[in-house]
């Protein structure tokens, strides 16, 4: 959640920054109205408190001087009732603003380029050279080697579910184990978390209330299937005050992930790039504010180096203001080369949310004598299904066989 104190202090500046993200005028207008209502409620309360203080002083003076205090006593009593009403009005105004603010995205970092969508993203660099083929490379769903069975996935569930057989199933497991081991070598401690999470956790990292349509909810319960390990891992520290000496916390986790993909709009309906159930290894970091930029670079390097170790050509792209995720202040996407499409496609997204999630989830650390909000970061390392796609397409042979990267062979 954005800092409401900043909003009250300088609404126009914060509003201008949110407009860079494409926040619509109606929402900003509503935000301004509720912000002004809270400021007005605070003024009424403060004025009544000031009056109470003055009346109390007069009351004391009257008693010392032996004056009649009956009328003054009536005024003090009546003003106390008005103060109680003003307190309640202020609380209601605060609640209304906070509830609206839960639907407002993060403020973009000043280094984020302006733009409307992915066409305005900025390439940072390319890593490795895409392979060349003596034949026309196939899409992963066209390679006839018995690895992926889409029909049986539909039979067991519905569209956008699939079944992996044989070497593909082994490759999936190998990738998960290799990614976790690679991340551990970079100082990220492994953690295993539930794949079912509650509403509070999803609110803490920003998936609710904004993206309720994309979540699978358990019938009759206020519980959901995790859309990403970012949610349970970050919320491990919700409503806690950490010691400054503990930071940074660097964690990695594997979870199955579940998304309805309600907003996908028919994209990637073929193959396994966009499935309702998929596997992902996640990186999560919790830092002091002054350390989060350096941690972002470290996490990007970890994910990029992992792809390099697999021999997969990729590029780093900075997302523009209009293409970033809801909770991100700054995001770098890592896109892997897919030769059948002849394009780079997202395989990892690493974001610094600054104190946006920490404010929602109440994650703080002791900073000297005071408690301060941490910064939280998250990133894919990597989406396992998309990594399988990249391996199948980049290392395919004309006969349909697939060459396995050397670093994965011990895990197969």
Q: Is the dihedral of CA 154, 155, 158, 164 positive or negative?
A: negative
Residue of 20, 21, 160, 259 with catalytic role = 259
* Active-site option among 15, 346, 366, 372: 346
Same-domain status, 58 and 140: no
State whether 336 and 219 are in the same domain.
yes
Instruction: Single out the residue in 33, 68, 101 at which a domain terminates.
Output: 101
- Sign of CA pseudo-dihedral 106, 109, 114, 119: negative
Indicate if 274 belongs to the active site: yes
pLDDT digits (tens, 9 = 90+) for 244-253: 999 999 999 9
Question: Is 110 among the domain residues?
Answer: no
Q: Rounded to a whole number, what is the largest CA-CA distance in the chain?
A: 107
Question: Is residue 85 helix, strand or coil?
Answer: helix
155 and 300 inside one domain: yes
pLDDT digits (tens, 9 = 90+) for 302-349: 999 999 999 999 999 999 999 999 999 999 999 999 999 999 999 999
Question: Using one digit for the tens of pLDDT, what is the confidence trace for 112-159?
Answer: 999 999 999 999 999 999 999 999 999 999 999 999 999 999 999 999
Q: Are residues 276 and 329 in the same domain?
A: yes
Say whether both 156 and 255 belong to one domain. Answer: yes
109, part of any domain: no
Q: Is 386 a catalytic residue?
A: yes
Is 346 one of the catalytic residues?
Answer: yes
Q: Which of 349, 351, 380, 381 is catalytic?
A: 349
My answer on whether 359 and 234 are in the same domain is yes
Question: Are 299 and 393 in the same domain?
Answer: yes
List the structure tokens of 229. 């390990």
**pLDDT band (50, 70, 90) for residue 10:** very high
Domain boundary among 54, 76, 101: 101
Mapping DSSP to helix (H, G, I), strand (E, B) and coil, where does residue 74 land?
helix
What does the block give as tokens for 55? 């009346």
Domain boundary among 38, 69, 101: 101
Residue 197: give the domain boundaries: 118-411
Indicate which CATH number applies to the domain containing 30: 1.10.287.40
**Catalytic residue flag (residue 160):** no
**Number of structural domains in the chain:** 2
Residues 92 and 204 in one domain: no
Task: Please list, in sequence order, all residues whose beta carbon lies within 8 angstroms of the beta carbon of residue 230, skipping any fewer than 6 positions away.
Answer: 205, 282, 284, 378
Q: Which of 271, 402, 292, 322 minimizes the C-alpha distance to 105?
A: 322
What CATH number is attached to the domain comprising 342?
A: 3.30.930.10
Pair (345, 259) in one structural domain:
yes
Q: What pLDDT score was predicted for residue 264?
A: 60
Report yes or no on 92 lying in a domain: yes
Whether 333 maps to a domain, the answer reads yes
Tell me: do 89 and 178 sit in the same domain: no
112 within some domain: no
3-state secondary structure of 134: coil
Active-site entry in 173, 186, 199, 274: 274
Over range 294-298, report the average pLDDT: 98
Q: Is residue 67 part of a domain?
A: yes
Q: Where does the pLDDT of residue 62 fall: very low under 50, low under 70, confident under 90, or very high at 90 and above?
A: confident
């Amino acid at each position: 959640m954005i800092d409401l104190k900043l909003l009250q202090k300088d609404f126009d500046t914060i509003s201008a920054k949110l407009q860079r993200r494409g926040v619509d005028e109606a929402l900003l207008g509503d935000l301004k109205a509720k912000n002004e209502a809270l400021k007005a409620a605070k003024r009424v309360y403060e004025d009544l408190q000031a009056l109470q203080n003055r009346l109390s002083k007069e009351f004391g003076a009257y008693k010392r001087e032996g004056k009649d205090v009956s009328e003054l006593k009536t005024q003090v009593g009546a003003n106390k009732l008005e103060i109680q009403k003003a307190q309640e009005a202020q609380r209601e105004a605060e609640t209304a603003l906070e509830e609206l603010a839960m639907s407002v995205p993060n403020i973009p970092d000043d280094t984020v380029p302006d733009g409307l969508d992915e066409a305005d993203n900025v390439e940072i660099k390319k890593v490795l050279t895409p392979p060349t083929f003596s034949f026309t490379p196939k899409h992963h769903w066209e390679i006839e080697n018995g690895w992926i069975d889409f029909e049986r996935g539909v039979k067991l569930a519905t569209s956008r579910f699939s079944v992996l057989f044989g070497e593909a199933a082994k490759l999936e497991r190998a990738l998960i184990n290799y990614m976790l081991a690679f991340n551990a070598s970079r100082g990220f401690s492994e953690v295993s978390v539930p794949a079912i999470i509650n509403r509070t956790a999803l609110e803490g990292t920003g998936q609710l209330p904004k993206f309720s349509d994309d979540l699978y909810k358990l019938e009759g319960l206020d519980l959901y299937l995790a859309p990403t390990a970012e949610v349970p891992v970050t919320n491990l520290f919700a409503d806690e005050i950490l010691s400054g000496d503990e930071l940074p916390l660097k964690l990695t986790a594997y979870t199955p992930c579940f998304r309805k993909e309600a907003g996908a709009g028919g994209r990637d309906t073929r193959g396994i790039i966009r499935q309702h159930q998929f596997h992902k290894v996640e990186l999560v970091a919790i830092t002091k504010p002054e350390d989060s930029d350096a941690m972002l670079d470290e996490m990007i390097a970890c994910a990029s180096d992992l792809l390099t170790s697999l021999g997969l050509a990729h590029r780093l792209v900075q997302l523009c203001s209009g293409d970033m995720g809801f909770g991100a202040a700054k995001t770098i996407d890592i896109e892997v080369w897919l030769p059948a499409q002849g394009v780079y496609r997202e395989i990892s997204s690493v974001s610094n949310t600054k104190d946006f999630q920490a404010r929602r989830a109440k994650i703080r650390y002791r900073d000297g004598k005071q408690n301060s909000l941490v910064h939280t970061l998250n990133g894919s390392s990597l989406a396992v299904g998309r990594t399988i796609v990249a391996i199948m397409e980049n290392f395919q042979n004309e006969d349909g066989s697939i060459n396995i990267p050397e670093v994965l062979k011990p895990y197969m």
